[in-house]
Amino acid sequence: MRVTTAHKSGTKEQSRVSFGTTLLVITFRVALVVTLLVMVVLGVWAVLALLGGLVASGDPITMIREWFKTVSGS
């Protein structure tokens, strides 16, 4: 029985990342970090606004009651 195999070529292909691809990756990472920072800032602002409303109304039940009155227009 005869086994046939392919000969290995001596050339090695090297992958090189182009400058454009590097800039694209950097831009993506910066955009991701900026997006996450904006989300954190908005989340902190929302919590502070909720706590401010809670302090102004006195207790959670009053705050909820006044919110429903405001939304419904009563």
The tens digit of pLDDT for each residue in 14-35 reads 667 788 899 999 999 999 999 9
What pTM did the predictor assign?
Answer: 0.61
Q: Would the pLDDT of 8 be above 70?
A: no
Whether residue 60 is contained in a domain is answered as yes
Answer for the pair 66, 57: CB distance below 8 angstroms, yes or no. yes
Number of other CB atoms surrounding residue 53 within 10 Å: 13
Whether residue 12 is contained in a domain is answered as no
Structure-model confidence comparison of residues 2 and 10, the more confident one: 2
Give the domain range for residue 60.
40-74
Phi-psi region of 4 (alpha: psi -120 to 50; beta: other; left: phi over 0): beta
What is residue 13's predicted lDDT score, i.e. its pLDDT? 61
Whether residue 44 is contained in a domain is answered as yes
Q: Give the pLDDT confidence of 40-73 residue by residue, as tens digits.
A: 999 999 999 999 989 998 898 999 998 899 999 9
Whether residue 58 is contained in a domain is answered as yes
Whether residue 17 is contained in a domain is answered as no
Whether residue 65 is contained in a domain is answered as yes
Classify residue 73 by its DSSP letter: T
- Domain tally, the chain: 1
